[in-house]
């Protein structure tokens, strides 16, 4: 059964270790992530971004047992886990399968995962227009036409990560 944990980002390793001590090592953790390429001065750096911020999915066959859950309730690095997970198992599995279908060889989501709506405002998270609000006019497989204020621009799809505003 899948559970959704909210963890302290910097304490993920402590959470894993504590989980291993309290239950057996027979669990699976999944967290979808994106690789962002940032240019700092003349160097290009790769930055790993968690799609769900500080939420992770964890699978163990005994998560359906309430007594078993009390063992893990006070793990180091754990803020809490979401209730209602029993009813949402099918949706959680669908989301994880969707994410895994868009992963590349390194385990990062590719940019095709994100649906693009035309004439909608987006905030740019990577590339030359980082932090700017743009409207997407047109997109093709590898090219996006956008408007930034009064300026029309085209850019490569791979170099651009954005979120809806």
Domain range for residue 160?
115-164
Which pLDDT value is given to residue 129? 72
* Mean pLDDT, contiguous 10-residue spans, the chain (165 residues): 91 89 87 81 80 91 85 89 87 94 90 77 78 84 83 77 76
Tell me: do 137 and 96 sit in the same domain.
no
Which pLDDT value is given to residue 57? 94
Core vs surface per residue 27-63: b (16+ CB within 10 A) or e? beebbbbbbbeeeeeeeeeeeeeeeeeebbbbbbeeb
What CATH number does the domain containing 141 carry? 2.30.30
Tell me: do 68 and 139 sit in the same domain.
no
Cα angle 27, 33, 36 (rounded to 5 degrees) comes to 155
Structure tokens at 148: 């930034």
Cα angle 109, 110, 113 (rounded to 5 degrees) comes to 85
Tell me if 63 sits within 8 A of 12, measured CB to CB. no
Which pLDDT value is given to residue 99? 93
DSSP tag of 101: H
d(CA 90, CA 103): 20
Sign of CA dihedral 97, 102, 108, 109: negative
Tell me: do 85 and 124 sit in the same domain.
no
Which pLDDT value is given to residue 154? 82
Tell me: do 124 and 91 sit in the same domain.
no
Which pLDDT value is given to residue 159? 63
Domain count, the chain: 2
């Amino acid at each position: 059964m899948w559970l959704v944990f909210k963890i302290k980002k910097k304490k993920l390793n402590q959470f894993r270790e504590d989980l291993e001590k309290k239950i057996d090592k027979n669990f699976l953790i999944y967290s979808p992530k994106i690789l962002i390429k940032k240019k700092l001065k003349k160097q290009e750096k790769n930055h790993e971004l968690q799609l769900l911020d500080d939420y992770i999915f964890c699978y163990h066959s005994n998560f359906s047992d309430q007594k078993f859950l009390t063992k893990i309730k006070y793990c180091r690095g754990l803020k809490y886990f979401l209730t209602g997970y029993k009813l949402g198992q099918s949706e959680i599995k669908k989301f994880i399968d969707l994410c895994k279908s868009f992963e590349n060889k390194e385990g990062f989501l590719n940019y095709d995962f994100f649906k693009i709506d035309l004439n909608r405002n987006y905030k740019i998270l990577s590339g030359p227009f980082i932090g700017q609000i743009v409207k997407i006019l047109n997109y093709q497989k590898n090219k996006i036409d956008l408007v930034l204020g009064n300026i029309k621009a085209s850019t490569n799809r791979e170099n651009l990560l954005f979120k809806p505003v």
